[in-house]
A and B are shown apart, each in its own frame.
Chain A
Amino acid sequence: MPADVRAFFLSTVQVVLLTAAIIVLTFLGIRPDPDHYFAGSLLHIKLLENTPSPRMILAGGSNVSFGIDAELMQRTLGIPVINDGLHAGLGLAPLRELEEYIREGDVIIISLEYDLFANQDVMDGDPAFLSDWIEYSPRRIEYLSNPLTEAPRVYAIMLQRKVNRKVNTYLFGGSLNEVRSVFVGTKYDLRGDFIGHLQDTSTNRQKIPATPYPVSVVQEDIFVFLENFNRIAQEKGARVYFEAPASRQSNCKATGEMPLANFFKTFKERSSIPVLTPLEEVCLPNKYFFDTEYHLNARGRELKTKRLIENWIKLTAASK
């Protein structure tokens, strides 16, 4: 090998190793944030691991974590209930993770936000949200839709977000509480319900734009996924149900009755998963919403949970 080439390889290796050292030290030096909203996903995993079956698992985006009271369901139904809802921005990755924890006798109620049905990118998840979620459990990388191709990007974003978070902490005087507001990872109850918003009564949070729900275009891929999920659950001896996400009256109105009805019609036609909530109960008055068209406040959460329990009892009674 010519001397110049040898020298080049040597210096390249040195620079690459030094760069890798800087990156690794930065990566490992900034620990996952224990107060991040997604830190609650670790509690969810613990519950999924340690709660005996038969049990009920509520899965989906933040409409589930904010808007369904697993504790109330557990008290009423007399079986263990786990709230595994987290964030719609994670796409279907949390459901892929859930597949591993399904056991015989489990009842899984999935409540996915409409956006996941409308857009392939939302289904795959936002890389920024996914990187935050994976930071808490690195093996979650395998739950991405294409782990091999997406992993480099997700880790690159994770590195950037770690640094950004650290810088942000300094810029806010050593604490992120000012920007975090109620969305704190420690505010989950023992059943995995997010309860950080229940005491928040600030009125400006309720100024939610009446944008229509994206129900007009429905991706075929999500039904392929849901059918596969249902098949795996059934093979393990579990049952899967679908629950409409919390839907706000003004947004429902902007969406239109027909498009919303068509959405559920399409769902029933293309999916073998039974739908729990009747169409007339899908939309709830505006006063029951917290800060987005999917997040219920304390009263809304109670109403939605009670209706869900009623519908569940009706459905199981009818099937008997």
Chain B
Amino acid sequence: MLFNSAAFLIFFPVVTTAYFLLPHRFRWMLLLAASCYFYMAFIPKYILILAITITVDYFAGLGLEKFEGRTKRWVLMASILTNIGMLAFFKYFNFANENLALLAKFIGWNYPISSLAIILPIGLSFHTFQSLSYTIEVYRGNQKAERHFGYLALYVMYYPQLVAGPIERPQNILHQLHTEQRFEYRRVTDGLKWMAWGMFKKVVVADRMVLFVNPVYNDPTSHNGPALVFATLAFAIQIYCDFSGYSDIALGSAQVMGVKLMKNFDHPYFARSISEFWRRWHISLSTWFRDYVYIPLGGNRVAKPRWAFNLFLTFLISGLWHGADWTYIIWGTLHGLYFIFSAVTEPIWIRLSALARLDRSPRLKVAISTLTTFSLVTFAWIFFRAASLTDALYIVRHLVKGWPSYLVQSWHTIVQEGFQKTADLGLYSIVNALFNILAPLTKESRTVIALTALALIILLVIEILQYRGNFLEQLHQKPVYLRRIVYACLIAVILILGTSYASVQQAFIYFQF
């Protein structure tokens, strides 16, 4: 079930109302049944995968508490192999098989294994990692094994974060699920506000960006540099609003029922370095990799070359986690390289900024570092979004092509249709000039472009306000009537400007992972 579907509009209030009406001892059953229903709205039979991993991890958890030494390690290994095995089979089998077949063809071997017709289960990577973190934390002694099968199943399947995270840790969630939650006005309404904001990001911003991204990325060879850059920037906004919008809805819907999920995004595009970006982007995944891959490999408490290797490997696996394709591997690798390069060259940057006297103008320094980080991240998104490696490389090669003529044309447009005609036609001529500059970049209508600009302005203003402080808290200080108007306007904007609920629903990008 999609958060941005009519079905969820009925599902959520029904489940939430029933949740608060039921006595606490029955609530886990309701939430588990609701979560099964939520998941089975996609491909019902795949619930069996969850059933298998939950059962294995339930008994693994009990075994990890019971046994010590080698047996304990074997139990953990069994859990890891089951979880990773599922992931490997459903997500990576065909990728590995196709590459092996290519390799075999290259060296002239007869490769007999054909690819399987498998549809990737929705959110497999998310619930597998969440399930894994349970057994690892029990193994490490940070979490007691859950004796109630239903609660463990609910921990893995809790519908707000089942298919696209945040990837939770048992220490944060399990005790909250056990605790009796009462209806608290402030908590419930704050949760609903997060949901509305997440919905705005998804249906108003992200789904509008699709209109600028897809035509270019579905056929990159028909577009020149300016259009490729424009579409890539649009994708950077799309993926942020799509995924963080999902996380906001997940956080909000869980909060309504008294469960506080971990923050998954913290204004990542305001980051001033790649390391800061990863502390702000998909936090639940980056901390998962930090805790379960990077630190066990030795983290940064090793020699520099080994540290660089640890980092590189972690990002490479992170890329592979996102998708079984070379484009994702390159995307992860690029971030690894960014990270290593920025750490290695840090002293040089400090000296350069001192030479340029950037310390005297901290705002400029912040602007430069933020813009540089954003550019690097956006460049890497090309590999994330492109349909194939060939497309990605084509886009990279053509990003700088076609600019001079485009700039000259834009200048002529401004002069001829903007400044020169302003006297005769007023503001309209400037508006006309602006749209004519955008015309070669997108085939979308003026309305779509104008409403997208409006949506982006709203997004930017709220993001800045959130970045500067607790926006919800600040809003709460305002008079009641003003708050009501703001909420009503937000819902009206979602209804009026939202694209997906009215036409074809766009699935969340991260569902595929």
Chain A residues near B (Cβ < 8 Å): 2-5, 7-8, 11, 14-15, 18-19, 21-23, 26, 127-128, 152-153, 156-157, 159-160, 163-165, 167-168, 171-174
Does B302 reach chain A (CB closer than 8 Å)? no
| Interface residue count on the B side (C-beta < 8 Å) | 31
Q: Are A164 and B447 in contact (CB under 8 A)?
A: yes
Q: Mark B147-189, 1 if CB is under 8 A from A, else 0.
A: 0000000000000000000000000000000000001110011
> Given that A11-B189, A18-B485, A164-B451 are contacting pairs, would A26 and B431 also be in contact in the complex, using a CB cutoff of 8 Å?
no
CB distance from B474 to the nearest CB of A (A): 18
| 11 new A-B contacts at CB < 8 Å, known A156-B495, A173-B431 | A8-B185, A11-B189, A15-B484, A19-B492, A23-B492, A26-B492, A127-B502, A163-B496, A163-B497, A171-B431, A174-B428
Q: Are B502 and A160 in contact (CB under 8 A)?
A: yes
Does B77 reach chain A (CB closer than 8 Å)? no
* Chain B, interface SS category: helix
The CA of A274 and the CA of B156, in the complex, are separated in Å by: 63
The CA of A160 and the CA of B447, in the complex, are separated in Å by: 11
User: Which B residues lie within 8 Å of A164 (CB)?
Assistant: 447-448, 451
User: Which B residues lie within 8 Å of A18 (CB)?
Assistant: 484-485, 487-488
CB distance from B126 to the nearest CB of A (A): 30
> Given that A7-B185, A18-B485 are contacting pairs, would A127 and B503 also be in contact in the complex, using a CB cutoff of 8 Å?
yes
Q: Are A8 and B447 in contact (CB under 8 A)?
A: no
Does B114 reach chain A (CB closer than 8 Å)? no
Chain B residues near A (Cβ < 8 Å): 6, 183-185, 188-189, 425, 428, 431-432, 435, 445-448, 450-451, 484-485, 487-489, 491-492, 495-498, 501-503
The CA of A217 and the CA of B508, in the complex, are separated in Å by: 33
The CA of A19 and the CA of B491, in the complex, are separated in Å by: 7
The CA of A172 and the CA of B485, in the complex, are separated in Å by: 31
Task: Return the chain A residue nearest B504 by Cβ.
Answer: A127
CB distance from B7 to the nearest CB of A (A): 12
> Given that A15-B491, A159-B496, A163-B496 are contacting pairs, would A4 and B6 also be in contact in the complex, using a CB cutoff of 8 Å?
no
The CA of A67 and the CA of B336, in the complex, are separated in Å by: 63
The CB with the most chain B CB atoms within 10 A, among A15, A156, A168, is that of: A15
Q: Are A152 and B6 in contact (CB under 8 A)?
A: yes
CB distance from B20 to the nearest CB of A (A): 8
User: Which A residues lie within 8 Å of B445 (CB)?
Assistant: 168
CB distance from B19 to the nearest CB of A (A): 13
The CA of A14 and the CA of B487, in the complex, are separated in Å by: 10
Task: Return the chain A residue nearest B426 by Cβ.
Answer: A173
User: Which A residues lie within 8 Å of B498 (CB)?
Assistant: 160
> Given that A15-B487, A23-B492 are contacting pairs, would A153 and B447 also be in contact in the complex, using a CB cutoff of 8 Å?
no
Partner of B451, one of A8, A157, A167: A167
> Given that A11-B484, A26-B496, A167-B450 are contacting pairs, would A173 and B428 also be in contact in the complex, using a CB cutoff of 8 Å?
yes
User: Which A residues lie within 8 Å of B502 (CB)?
Assistant: 127, 153, 156-157, 160
User: Which A residues lie within 8 Å of B432 (CB)?
Assistant: 173
CB distance from A18 to the nearest CB of B (A): 4
The CA of A179 and the CA of B497, in the complex, are separated in Å by: 21
CB distance from A151 to the nearest CB of B (A): 12
The CA of A18 and the CA of B484, in the complex, are separated in Å by: 8
CB distance from B96 to the nearest CB of A (A): 39
User: Which B residues lie within 8 Å of A14 (CB)?
Assistant: 484
CB distance from A33 to the nearest CB of B (A): 14
User: Which A residues lie within 8 Å of B491 (CB)?
Assistant: 15, 19
The CA of A15 and the CA of B487, in the complex, are separated in Å by: 7
Q: Are A160 and B496 in contact (CB under 8 A)?
A: yes
Q: Are B503 and A157 in contact (CB under 8 A)?
A: yes
> Given that A22-B492, A23-B495, A160-B496 are contacting pairs, would A8 and B189 also be in contact in the complex, using a CB cutoff of 8 Å?
yes
CB distance from B193 to the nearest CB of A (A): 10
